[in-house]
């Protein structure tokens, strides 16, 4: 559904991760599940992550955006923010996700914007606002990730 856009990263993130020889767009993407749901991460920085997802193909039986689809978008965006906050020596693992669904969406794209509520050494919490094409809030979510120490070689595993 539509063309894939490359994720935009601030220069300091590109510089921080440059020595690892990784494709940042692939590393900080929505993964296999997100690909099936056509989630696109458009902007990624520790202080703001933006992504979109089509309603079409991600609906429940009544034709409305599935709440679980909103949760996938929210967890994807919050996790990317937490990973970027932690840097190459940390791995972000989601430990709590909650979503409040405010209104239904039947078509178009929804956009999620994740912003930090807390960024510490061992955890990061992001609020994710998901809106429809008219700018109306569809879902409010909050994700907390545990930040675990990791050797950067973990990123080279298949």
Active site residues: 75
- Using a 10 angstrom Cβ sphere, with 0-12 exposed, 13-18 middle and 19 or more buried, the burial of residue 44 is buried
Of 158, 54, 153, nearest to 106 by C-alpha is 54
Question: CA-CA distance, 155 to 92, in Å (whole number)?
Answer: 13
Can you tell me whether residue 120 is helix, strand or coil? coil
For tokens 């545990």, what's the residue?
146
Q: 16: which residues sit within 8 A by CB, 6+ positions away?
A: 87, 88
Of 10, 68, 79, 4, nearest to 35 by C-alpha is 4
For tokens 């696109």, what's the residue?
40
């Amino acid at each position: 559904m539509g063309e894939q856009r490359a994720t935009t990263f601030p220069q300091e993130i590109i510089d921080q991760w440059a020595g690892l020889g990784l494709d940042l767009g692939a590393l900080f993407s929505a993964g296999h599940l997100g690909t099936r749901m056509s989630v696109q991460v458009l902007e990624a920085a520790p202080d703001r992550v933006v992504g979109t997802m089509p309603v079409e193909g991600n609906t429940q039986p009544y034709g409305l955006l599935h709440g679980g689809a909103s949760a996938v978008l929210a967890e994807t965006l919050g996790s990317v923010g937490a990973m970027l906050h932690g840097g190459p020596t940390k791995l972000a693992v989601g430990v709590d996700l909650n979503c409040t669904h405010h209104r239904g969406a039947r078509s178009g794209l929804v956009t999620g914007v994740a912003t930090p509520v807390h960024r510490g050494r061992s955890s990061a919490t992001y609020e994710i606002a998901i809106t429809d094409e008219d700018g109306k809030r569809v879902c409010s979510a909050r994700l907390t990730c545990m930040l675990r120490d990791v050797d950067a070689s973990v990123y080279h595993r298949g």
